Amino acid sequence: MNTGIGTETQIRFLKAKLNVMQEELDKVVCECNKKEDEIHDLKSQVKSFEEDCSRKQRTITAQLSQIEKYKNLFEEANARCDGLQQQLLAVEKDLENKRRLQKQAATSQSATEVRLNRALEDVEKYKLELSKLRQNHKDVANEELKKIEVLKSENKKLEKQKGELMIGFKKQLKLIDVLKRQKMHIEAAKMLSFTEEEFMKALEWGNS
């Protein structure tokens, strides 16, 4: 009797223990299911991470290639910048030289303007003197023209007098010639004892 009770108690105890164990098993199974779900999620995340990592790796590779390209461009730009810097220095030096030359030219131009103003003043003075000289020359020319007209008039008178003198001179020469002939006839009459009548005829012949 006691043995039966003891066995029954043990069975109940074992059932109770089995229920507890079943509950624990269910909990463990539930936890396992959760873990499996977590593992599945983690696998999905890992796969996603791997895919994302692969994409990022490709992006990194592309970016590295781009960085290398930019590095080359940067080096070229630096080299070009150095060249431009040298050109800039040369241009600045040339500009400085031009500024110095411009300053010298401005100083020279100022002196040239002073000389030019003086030259213009001299030109105006010479113009005034030339105008006076021209007026004086004109006055002198007018005086000379008047003198020339007077001389022409006097020359005309002299030419007239010369003509008259030439006529008188010719008459004198003719008279001298007549006198010479008369002298010759007188001498001939003396020598030949011409008669008075013949002498008179000779004189008449000489006057004809």
Q: CA 155, CA 146: separation in Å to the nearest integer?
A: 14
* pTM attached to this predicted model: 0.31
Check residue 91 and give its pLDDT: 85
Check residue 205 and give its pLDDT: 63
Check residue 47 and give its pLDDT: 81
Tokens for 121, please give them. Answer: 């003043």
What 3 state SS string does the chain have?
Answer: CHHHHHHHHHHHHHHHHHHHHHHHHHHHHHHHHHHHHHHHHHHHHHHHHHHHHHHHHHHHHHHHHHHHHHHHHHHHHHHHHHHHHHHHHHHHHHHHHHHHHHHHHHHHHHHHHHHHHHHHHHHHHHHHHHHHHHHHHHHHHHHHHHHHHHHHHHHHHHHHHHHHHHHHHHHHHHHHHHHHHHHHHHHHHHHHCCCHHHHHHHHHHHHC
**Regions in the chain scoring below 70 on pLDDT:** 1-5, 187-208
For helices 196-207 and 2-192, what crossing angle results, to 10°? 170
Domain interval for residue 41:
2-207
Check residue 197 and give its pLDDT: 63
Check residue 1 and give its pLDDT: 46
- Give CA 167 to chain center in angstroms: 84
Evaluated on CA atoms 201, 202, 204, 208, the torsion sign reads positive
* Structural domain total, the chain: 1
